[in-house]
Structure 1
């Protein structure tokens, strides 16, 4: 009973805690608002303090210098704004005549007959008749007592001293808050290291997770505030110049106000636009100035919202649009206008906390902008909901994103859908859900086969050998067999599916495999070894001429190698993915997988790229080679790889500029690597190079298992070296040319997630920065310098902040 009520109890406790926290935020806003403002300002000012410390200035003078400089800038700005406001206030009385004329003109326009004039007259007549029939309250008393005299209360005039006290009372709270913010900022900047240590202690014993959370939160908030400042400046300056050009008085005042008010989300731009529009209305007798002002504001808003902000912000906050709106409403309700200004940074902190604390992971789901469901999960959910039409639409969209490759869609999207269904089949799926899934997948495959029919047969009829695809046991296996048959047909192989159930003599008779030469059997179960071995034995006993390809698309076979698995199971080939299944079937059809591989394409600007490589001078720089060796050593240690390499690609070869570590597969390989290192940079034909694919694609590339990748399994250079894993990050120069790659190699298959790939790219960018510095120090031609990375790297090992 207690176990059953535990989730509900935890939910209620969570709601109570959330209510107490919100109440505390509201009740303590007098102290919390200045403290939060101080923390936000410290995020902006701390980089300046750090830069002064690197120049040799102690921390206390650096903090005082930054604070004094900031106050000076704010004071100069306040003086400028006050002076502009004073000049404008002196000019306002001269605009009274223009304002009266325009208001009278507008009143006349409003009183002119319109399309609803008849209805208005009718309502006026009805209203007058009702008022005439209804006696006015107190009319009898008025008639007896005479007319009522109107009394008007005149406010008492204040002396100058009283006016000064009233102004002081109005400014007392803002001045007090400003003083608190200043004191908090100074002490936060002085005790930044101690505060960081205390926060690390509060976040828990996992130092890695706490460090990542603090780094990410600080980086996101700092980037957001700096980008916000740049956006506001890029909006305020053109606004001031534009208003000055069209003749609106106080143009620089309104430009400064527009840049300042954009710190207030949503409402700020409208408030800032109200003042120049009102003044344009008051200044000019006509409407041209108002129209020009409206056009200027609309143009700047379009450019800022659609060009400047997406370019500068990117994914700096990671918040969704809806969460930004809800957060602005929430913080404005709690802390007023100041809460509205701080809503985005505060919500970013909540997002980061939810990302790194499992107990608050729901915050990352609710507030983040990243999709919470991947494409296989979305399609699976639509099938479970009985909506195959939307599942088909999502699938076609994915195929278009994959450049029309249906086999790639099957392998990367549809197959994970079937694996999720297999995992849920016996645990949580109801019969209704299973029926919806089977019917939806049938409709999906029927639609894809209709939209993407196989091409005309390109293989001579005498060489075409019928291929039959069977499901191992379950209905899901049969659906996977349909996918395999369609993928084979798209490659030009004659493939078909046949229904198969339990392994009995009656079902074997129904298969009718007398004319089949190759049978591809698909299993999605996690442990299909015993069933697959028994099936192969029965199948060979009945049809000895049939060659079997076992497509084990569930869990990989860890204890056995590829050849051992095929022999132990009694099959001619074993494939662990759809792409490998197609390749193995093609091999049995007469193709040679071990002799075929995909050569890297040549980019259109390859001649210019090679010229940039030769002009950089890095091929003959010992200092560059030492920097590359240092980066390779660091990469091998960080990612725990047996070998890391920095390679360049010219017109004909891949040139291994430096390499750290050794692959231990193959006879005598270590000795050959030492000889290559002594003789100079090793060279490989460009057509055999995986780094050449990175150069052609202009982006990072990961191959988890080279031997099972149909694109590279037949590469003789990789097969000789025993390479099973490859990851490469491009090395870009200032012009955007990809000169080579920083790559990792291993003799066993490995997984490499997106975070590791970003870290590797950051290390490649750091290396390119060193190349540029070495080239300038040596007086060579301008060498490659790093292109602006997608995310900034740290100063230690190139750690990327997501």
Structure 2
């Protein structure tokens, strides 16, 4: 039976069913608007990545160095001086690392073909079960080629000039690096001016206090996370480099730097480091048993760092669950490539800290958290095997 409007002295009011239907329509409309906004944001980030990527990198670098700037300000050093010195030191570190690593990396790239041949020879006893499948694949490929009509011609698109493409990439990379360091310098030297501008955009005192609290909480948590994780990764890279040098691995500086850089990708970065070190060790040492010592040492270092060092130093409050980490790495690597993959977890931490300050966004923050906060409060801490982000 269809509900009829209820008459009253003030006029005709809607029935409860009509009000519920209107609320459902409003929720559906809100969901559609949010979905469209997310899609438009992703499209903007993809097509305008040349702008957004260096800007976000500059903010992350500024957040990493903010605790040092504030520490020096309390010692009487102005923000402009400390920010300039820190940015110049960062440029010097990146330039020195690039200069020291450029030679070995170029040699590895030039010798990639011989490395592949040597690896194939070392793994020859293990690939015999796959030879039949390879032969079948070659037969199918030959059959496909011979089955083409004689009058059909293949069309190949000639690649663009290598030099012009390389020059364009170098120019784009140089521009992005310049934007990163210059913008981070301005952000660090401005002190609290940027935060004051955010607070001034609100009208009531309650909104100003809440905005100021959120801004400082996000800045404190993210700067603590980025700075400590950067220090941990540099320590991990140093230990791995020294250990591989002691084992006799060639170019231990490259593998230590690679381990430090890839460790910004939880799980995925450690796996990539182990695989690359295992490949180089197999072609560098005479026996397979001794070659396995290098990847085993890397695995041991990753276990100690992931299960003991990072959870102790960073803290449990900023842990991210593995599912969210893999989704973020996959999304940002698709969006911005390798640089986006490196920024995936820091951006995920920013989102989590921001969501924790809003009640409407608390389900998102709870999903990103590695530990159960309300459903399972009495679960032993030893049952949580998730690595700190």
TM-score (norm 2): 0.75
**SS of the counterpart of 1:56?**
coil
Q: What is the rounded CA distance, in whole Å, between the counterparts of 2:202 and 2:323 in structure 1?
A: 28
Provide the rounded CA distance (Å) in 1 between the counterparts of 2:155 and 2:311.
57
The 5 Å alignment of 1:505-584 reads none
1:23 to 40, 49, 54: 40
Q: Distance in 2 between matches of 1:345 and 1:203?
A: 27
- Output the CA distance in 1 between the equivalents of 2:309 and 2:67: 24
Note if 1:52 corresponds to 2:77: no
1: CA distance between counterparts of 2:68 and 2:109? 38
Alpha-carbon distance in structure 1 between the residues aligned to 2:202 and 2:319? 21
Listed as ranges, the gaps of 5+ residues in structure 2 are 1-13, 381-389
Q: Secondary structure at the match of 2:264?
A: coil
Query: In 1, are the aligned partners of 2:274 and 2:299 still within 8 Å (CA)?
Result: no
Q: What's the CA shift string for 1:110-144, capped at 9, x where partnerless?
A: 55xxxxx9xx9xxx9xx99xx99xxx857xx98xx
What SS does the corresponding residue of 1:220 show, helix, strand or coil? helix
1:627 is aligned to none
- Partners of 1:217 and 1:370 in 2: how far apart? 20
**Is the 2:263–2:270 Cα contact (8 Å) retained in structure 1?**
yes
Decide whether aligned partners of structure 1 residues 359 and 95 sit closer, same or farther in structure 2, where only a CA change above 3 A counts.
closer
Q: What's the offset of the Cα at 1:247?
A: 1.6
Task: Specify the SS of the correspondent of 2:249.
Answer: coil
Please give the alpha-carbon distance, in whole angstroms, between the structure 2 residues aligned to 1:200 and 1:330: 32
Match of 2:386 in 1: none
Cα deviation for residue 21 of structure 1 reads: 4.0
Secondary structure (helix, strand or coil) at the match of 2:86 reads: helix
Partner of 2:384: none
Q: Does structure 2 retain, via aligned residues, the 8 Å contact 1:52–1:62? A: yes
Q: Is the 8 A contact 1:38 1:181 kept in 2?
A: yes
SS of the residue corresponding to residue 76 of structure 2 reads coil
Q: Does 1:63 align with 2:83?
A: yes
Instruction: Tell me what 1:313 maps to.
Output: 314
Q: Output aligned runs, 1:249-268, within 5 Å.
A: 249-268=250-269
Partner of 1:292 in structure 2?
Answer: 293
Q: Can you list the C-alpha shifts for 1:711-751, whole angstroms capped at 9, x where unaligned? A: xxxxxxxxxxxxxxxxxxxxxxxxxxxxxxxxxxxxxxxxx
Alignment correspondent of 1:340: 341
Q: Contact 1:236–1:255 (CA<8 Å) still a contact in 2?
A: yes
Contact 2:240–2:301, Cα closer than 8 Å, also in 1: yes
The 3 A distance-change label for structure 1 pair 171 and 247 is same
**Residue in 1 that maps onto 2:192:** 193
SS in 2 for 1:357: coil
Q: 1:58 to 1:306 in 2, by over 3 A?
A: closer
Structure 1 residue 91: Cα displacement: 7.9
Structure with higher Rg: it is 1
Q: Per-residue CA shift, 1:608-662, capped at 9, x if unaligned? A: xxxxxxxxxxxxxxxxxxxxxxxxxxxxxxxxxxxxxxxxxxxxxxxxxxxxxxx
Output the CA distance in 1 between the equivalents of 2:223 and 2:315.
14
C-alpha root-mean-square deviation of aligned residues, in Å?
A: 4.0
Partner of 1:6: 23
Higher strand share: 1
Change beyond 3 A, Cα 1:209–1:41: same
**Measured at CA, do residues 87 and 363 of structure 1 come closer, stay the same or move farther in structure 2, by a change above 3 Å?**
closer
- Which residue in 2 is equivalent to 1:168? 167
Correspondences of 1:108-507 after superposition (within 5 Å)? 137=147, 164-202=163-201, 205=204, 206=206, 207-369=208-370, 371-373=372-374
Q: TM-score, normalised by structure 1?
A: 0.39
Equivalent pairs counted in the alignment come to 351
User: Residues 285 and 348 from structure 1, CA distance in 2 versus in 1: closer, same or farther, beyond 3 angstroms?
Assistant: closer
Structure 1 pair 203–36 and aligned structure 2 pair: CA distance change class (3 A): farther
Tell me the SS of whatever aligns to 1:373: coil
CA distance in 2 between counterparts of 1:265 and 1:345 reads 11
| Distance (whole Å) between structure 1 residues aligned to residue 79 and residue 116 of structure 2 | 56
Q: What residue number does 1:38 align with? A: 58
Residue 235 of structure 1 contacts residue 300 of structure 1 at CA under 8 Å; is this kept in 2? yes
CA distance in 1, matches of 2:202, 2:344: 22
SS in 2 for 1:341: helix
- Give, in angstroms, the shift of residue 237 of structure 1: 1.6
Equivalent residue for 2:8?
Answer: none
State the alpha-carbon separation in 2 of the partners of residues 298 and 336 from structure 1.
Answer: 26
| Residue of structure 1 in register with 2:97 after alignment | 77
Assess, with a 3 A threshold, how the Cα gap between structure 1 residues 310 and 10 changes in structure 2: closer, same or farther: same
Kindly provide the CA deviation profile for residues 178-232 of structure 1, in whole angstroms up to 9, marking residues without a partner as x: 2222222122123342210122345774233323312221122112112211321
Give the secondary structure class of the aligned counterpart of 1:57: coil
Do the aligned residues in 1 keep the contact of 2:320 with 2:368 (CA within 8 Å)? Answer: yes
Question: In 1, distance between residues paired with 2:123 and 2:248?
Answer: 21
What secondary structure sits across from 1:167 in the alignment? helix
- Structure 1, unaligned stretches of length 5 or more? 112-116, 379-393, 399-802
> Relative contact order, CA 8 A, sep 6+: which one is greater?
2
Call closer, same or farther: CA 1:325–1:192 in 2, change over 3 Å: farther
> 1:256, CA displacement in angstroms?
0.9
Whether contact under 8 Å (1:224, 1:316) holds in the other structure is no
SS in 2 for 1:268: helix
Q: Deviations over 1:400-449 (max 9, x none)?
A: xxxxxxxxxxxxxxxxxxxxxxxxxxxxxxxxxxxxxxxxxxxxxxxxxx
In the alignment, which residue of structure 1 is the partner of 2:7?
none
1:319/1:99 CA distance change after superposition, 3 Å:
closer
| Contact 1:261–1:272, Cα closer than 8 Å, also in 2 | yes
Shift of the alpha carbon at 1:358? 3.8
User: What secondary structure does 1:195 align onto?
Assistant: helix
CA contact (8 A) 2:236 2:259 kept: yes
Distance 1:82 1:37, change over 3 A: same
Matches of 1:188 and 1:79, distance apart in 2: 28
Q: Which runs of 4+ in 1 moved over 6 A?
A: 89-97, 150-153
User: Helix, strand or coil: the match of 1:356?
Assistant: coil
